[in-house]
Structure 1
Amino acid sequence: MKKIITLLFLLANIGLVSSQSSIINSKKFSINKDTVKKPNKVVEKELVPVTIPRDTIIVEIGKFVLFKKNAHASYYHDKFNGKRTASGKRFDNQKLTAAHRKFPFGTRLRITNEANGKSVVVEVTDRGPFARGREIDLSKKAFMDITSNKRSGAVIVKIEELRK
């Protein structure tokens, strides 16, 4: 009992508990959504707006597990723009998507160019590639983001799968 009285006394002295009751004293301390008010002092939080481009894929918290190194990657031709993929979604060469033979639709993959270290996170939305020796087809945007030679049609990559 003595400890509780001592604690209430200390809290009353710093203004968190009034001496008459054990509730927060709203005159000394109040909290609004964006401001914290103290006697004779107002501290405002500065909010910085963040805009995320529409085609950005937000990576959930997880870890990337290596699937394959020295994989041969190419990109979709523009003639496939607007056509349906095997998952049923419309293909857009300006989004970060990929085609793979084995990964389930919706799987997130990090594709890293082994020559320059650039990487991109893509979502599997289609099946393919059906050319022998090719491991993955990337959308044109994803391919151009990681390649150093914009005129090349293929690149050697490392494929990692996002696991939660």
Structure 2
Amino acid sequence: MTQKFIILLLTCLSVLTISGQEKKAQLKEKSKEKTTKNTVTRENKEQLKVIASTKVDTTKLKIKNIVQEIDSTKNALADLNFKLLKKKAHASYYHQKFHGRRTASGKKFDNNAYTAAHKKLPFGTKVKVTNEVNGKFVIVEITDRGPFSKVREIDLTKKAFMEIADNKNSGVVFVTLEVVEEK
């Protein structure tokens, strides 16, 4: 019995020393991996700097393009004359159920375009619609007749309306209507 006990004890000790050695070997490998990872990142710092500068350059280009678009829009607006049609007019927007239907002018209605309906203005007339509260404006083309309410003056597409509206939940805004005339 004592021999069996001694053999069992020696076996356990050998297993413990082997597992301890394996743990030491694993720890050495992990530390080597960490040092190699640090060396790799040091070597790639220059590449990362190049990538970062490229991203900054593309951002600068995008901003530059936006500024150029704004300038060209300002120049295009400078070439236009606006004839006042009405102040404090009520503007509303089309319901989505009209999307895809034909308008009075024969064009297909698109709620994502910059078009509008007016009772009397000729089709194709461009109108600058300015929100009197916040000063935001859009230029829309008259393609339909309406609105069929005595109070409202113009029906805008939902996209045009949402661009000038402060409160996206409102259905009516007070606007100034100006007919666009080219110089």
**TM-score with structure 2 setting the length:** 0.57
Q: Say if 1:49 and 1:145 are closer, same or farther in 2 by CA, change over 3 A.
A: closer
Once the two structures are TM-superposed, the CA of residue 131 in structure 1 deviates from its matched residue by 1.2
Question: Take 1:148 and 1:109, find their aligned partners in 2: how far apart are those partners?
Answer: 20
Structure 2 residue 148 is matched with structure 1 residue 130: yes
Question: Take 2:78 and 2:108, find their aligned partners in 1: how far apart are those partners?
Answer: 23
Unmatched runs of 5 consecutive residues or more in structure 1: 1-47, 53-57
- Residue 86 of structure 1 corresponds to 104
Q: Say if 1:94 and 1:60 are closer, same or farther in 2 by CA, change over 3 A.
A: farther
- Residue 135 of structure 2 corresponds to 117
Q: Say if 1:49 and 1:118 are closer, same or farther in 2 by CA, change over 3 A.
A: closer
> What is the identity, as a one-letter code, of the residue corresponding to 2:178?
E
Unmatched runs of 5 consecutive residues or more in structure 2: 1-63, 70-75
Q: Say if 1:145 and 1:122 are closer, same or farther in 2 by CA, change over 3 A.
A: same
- Residue 30 of structure 1 corresponds to none
Kindly report structure 1 stretches of 4+ aligned residues shifted beyond 2 Å: 58-62
SS at match of 1:145: helix
- Residue 77 of structure 1 corresponds to 95
Q: Which has the greater radius of gyration?
A: 2
- Residue 63 of structure 1 corresponds to 81
SS at match of 1:122: strand
- Residue 51 of structure 2 corresponds to none
Once the two structures are TM-superposed, the CA of residue 62 in structure 1 deviates from its matched residue by 2.5
Instruction: Tell me the matched-pair count.
Output: 113
Question: Take 1:86 and 1:61, find their aligned partners in 2: how far apart are those partners?
Answer: 30
- Residue 142 of structure 1 corresponds to 160
Aligned residues with identical type, % of pairs: 59
Q: Which structure carries more strand by proportion?
A: 1
Question: Take 1:139 and 1:80, find their aligned partners in 2: how far apart are those partners?
Answer: 10
Give CA-to-partner distance per residue, 1:46-97, whole Å, 9 cap, x none: xx989x9xxxxx8693301111000000000000000000000000000000
